[in-house]
Amino acid sequence: MHELIKSISISLIAVFVGLALAPVVSAEVIEVPPGNRNGDRPNTPGLSKLWTTFISRKPYEAKYRRVYGMLQRDKALIGKIKKVSSIYGIDPIHMVGAIVGEHTFNVDGYDNLQRYYVKAAKYVNLDMSFSYKGETADQFFKRPQFEPCSKYKSSYEAWDCRSVIWQTKFQGKRVGGKSFTNQRIQLVFFKPGIAGFTFGLDQMSPVAVLMVNEYVHQKSGLPLLDINRANEVYNAVMDPDKTIHYMAAHIRISIDLYRNIAGFDISGNPGLTATLYNLGDVATRARQLRAENEKRKQRGQPIAYPEENFYGWLVNDRADQLRGLL
C-alpha cells in the first residue's frame, strides 16, 4: 500500500472502521516524533533490488530525482493532493512520501500525469474478472474459512482478515480437492492477465482499493466499487484523480489503527505511514505491536516503538525537501 489526517472525530472513525473491537495498549496514546529511529537505512528487500537492477536499470537516487521532478513540475497534482488530504484530514506530506517511496523503490513510474489518465481510460470497457481456476473472488470469500472476517464492521479490517486467512489456510495448500498457488492473494485472484499487481500514480493493487472502497465513498462521494466489476476497479486504480482518494484513505485509517489498537500517534511521522503503505496488513501489525508491548510491560521492559523500513527511512530522511514541494 500506503497522506494523512487531521480532523475527523476519533469516535466517528472508530464507529466506521470498527476499531472499537480492539483495545489500546493503555489509556495514554504515545506520540511518535518525526524522524528515523534507525541511524542507517534498513536493508532493501530483494524484490526492490531486482526491479531496480534488472528492470528499471536506474539507481535509487536517479529514480528519486525523477519522481521528485514530476511532483515539482506538476503544480496541479500538488494542488489535488492538498485538497484530497484535507478531505481525509491528513497532512499532505504523507501522500507525497508514499508516492515518492513507491516510485523510488518499486516501479519506475511515468514522468508526467497525462500518461496515467490515458492508461486509466483503457480499462473502462475491458472484459475482466477477479477469479482463479473458475472461481470468482466473490465466491471464494464466501467459503466457511472466511467466516471469522464477518465480525469486522469495516471493509478494511475484513480484507486484512481475509489476507491472513489466505496466507494461513490456502496459500500453497490443497483445500477441498483444489490446489492453491504459493503466492500472495493479490497475485492469484486480482491480477487478471496484467503484468504486475500494483498500478497507477500511487501503485495500488485492486485489493487496496476495495479495502477502503466504502470509506472513500462516504468521504468523497466517489461511486461504490463492486468486486464483480473488475474493469471499474482498475479504472479507479489508474485514474490519478480517483486513486489519490484511496491513498489518502489508507493513510488515514493506518493512523487511526495505530492510535486505537497499538496506542501510538504516528500522524507526525511520514516515514512510518509510508512504511505501512508499503507493507500493508496494518491492523495485524498494530495488534502484533500491542501484544509485544503488553509482554514487555509484564517483564518491566521499555516498550517498543513502531519503526520505519527502508522505504519509510528515505521519506523521513528527505522530509524537509519533500515538504518543500507543498
DSSP string of 120-144, one letter each residue:
HHHHTT-----EETTEEHHHHTTSG
In the predicted model, is pLDDT for residue 4 greater than 50?
Answer: no
**Better pLDDT: 199 or 188:** 188
Q: How many CB atoms lie within 10 A of CB 254?
A: 32
In the predicted model, is pLDDT for residue 47 greater than 70?
Answer: no
E strand or H helix at 216: helix 213-220
In the predicted model, is pLDDT for residue 311 greater than 80?
Answer: yes
d(CA 294, CA 238): 41
Contact in structure between 69 and 111 (CB atoms under 8 Å) = yes
Contact in structure between 63 and 103 (CB atoms under 8 Å) = yes
pLDDT at 17: 39
pLDDT at 124: 55
pLDDT at 97: 95
pLDDT at 110: 47
The overall average pLDDT reported for the chain is 81
Buried/exposed code over 285-316 (b: 16+ C-beta within 10 A; e: otherwise): bbbebbeebeeeeeeeeebebbbbbbbbbbbb
Question: What is the average pLDDT across 14-25?
Answer: 39
Q: Which residue has the cell 465480525?
A: 151
Task: Convert the pLDDT of each residue in 231-258 to its tens digit.
Answer: 888 888 888 889 999 999 999 999 999 9
> 148: which residues sit within 8 A by CB, 6+ positions away?
161, 165
Which range has the top average pLDDT, 5-9, 130-134, 155-159, 296-300? Answer: 296-300
pLDDT at 127: 60
pLDDT at 5: 28
Lowest mean pLDDT among 19-23, 69-73, 107-111, 162-166: 19-23
pLDDT at 108: 53
Q: Using 50, 70 and 90 to split pLDDT, how confident is the model at 16?
A: very low
d(CA 247, CA 1): 8
Q: Using 50, 70 and 90 to split pLDDT, how confident is the model at 22?
A: very low
